[in-house]
Structure 1
Amino acid sequence: MSQSDYSYSSLPKEISLKIASSLEAPALSSLACCSRDWQEICVSDCLWKSLLKERWPLLCGADKDPNFKDWRGFYVKQHEEQKRQAESVINLVEQRSLFGSLNAVDYLHAISCLERIQLGFRDVQMLLLKPELNVLLNLIGLHYCLNNLQVPAFHITEALWSGKIADRQVCVKWRSTYNFRTRGGDQSRCVYLKDLVKGEDDGEVLTVLERGATYELSRVQVSDPFSGSGDEHELITII
């Protein structure tokens, strides 16, 4: 069989679209560079519309216009904008935690910012669930995926292992006031990120972080148990 027998022109368009639809955006863009025929297939609106909806399930505004065109252009523009805004949140958290602590307002504000800019699970995986970031940002991304995006736990667990952060650990300490529902006093919990996703702590840690300083919780802090110094390194303090 000659080399020409393997060319795009020998494939039905439906088969070519099926092949292209199995690819992620970077691979699809690379395939488009192979030939003019593949370029014609790879810029198809149906492919990029599907990729956009898969990556940003909360983003549906453009879908209201039945005559909307250039889904690839919209995808690229959205990617650059989401990346820019996500990096602004990352920079904010890093600046506010330079001295090892982050107050409750900043922690919850970071999560609300991710929701406001409508980050999807793929965005969080690429931008926040990375080993080069501190565990606080990993925790914010995990928290957002579970509670805001409601991503299935097994998908988040796969992302943690893929990002090599599943075994990162946080220690949470909080001080409860005495009332009929809590025993009061200082309490603590050390948990791996992978166990937070599986609910091994019965959801206690994320519940404490969500509620922050209330009439029941007077102080909450999350720490990195493997900081370089002998002293505990606070990553987040909620007061």
Structure 2
Amino acid sequence: MKYQTKIYGHRGASEYAAENTMKAFHMAYDMGADGVEFDIQVTRDGYLVVTHDEWINRVSDGTGCVKDYDLEELRKFKFNKLHPEQEDSAIPLLEEVLEQLRERCNQDKREFLFNIELKNNVFPYDGMEEKVLQIVKEKNVLENTLFSSFSHASMLKIRELESAARVAFLYCDGIMNVEDYAQRYNVNTVHPAWYLMDRNASFEALRQREIEINIWTVNGGKEIRRFCDMGVNGIITNKPDLGSEIRDDK
């Protein structure tokens, strides 16, 4: 019998491949993950690209902000700074990630989930919500997509634009009575940092309100099993192979 908890590859299989690259996403898929979590930023010429930081310094051989580059310019950098052994490391477009993984799912007759995090809490990219919804609908994966952001206003805008969209509030601290907060805005999914789940009163209050809980970022086997035993809905991990093994080993 499997655990019911879903395993998401955090920026793909980012323990083993350059984060937020196609190799990392395909690796997470091959490792048996239920889905992948990844981040989007907006280029100067309006493309949605998949990378976590607003600045490219940490993950690439370039410097500066994503928003200050055109797509063609960003494609010239290698996004393998954390895994220099990985040659194929171009920054992917949102549509490329969705299209390639959807194609594999169709071939394998397998369900796969996408957690798209909008990185708009530092730079409030104008029109980001409309653009991401358009691409998700064009690729026919809305039912398999969960949108999340630290910008909770952005999540409410997503839902205003598309009532069928599923959204989640990301948070790491600073929210008191998160169950009341989520319910006030009619949001039924939250993404807390893993350490907040040690506050059992909060966990139980969320479960009583039937609010789904996906936690980030959990990489130790002992912790993954503990959270599966608690019954969280999803675990976001850099090690989807370990998560998948534990998920299947109840």
Confirm or deny a common fold (TM above 0.5).
no
Q: TM-score range by the shorter chain?
A: 0.3 to 0.5
By percentage of residues, which structure has more strand?
2
| Higher-Rg member (1/2) | 1
By percentage of residues, which structure has more helix?
1
Q: TM-score, normalised by structure 1?
A: 0.32
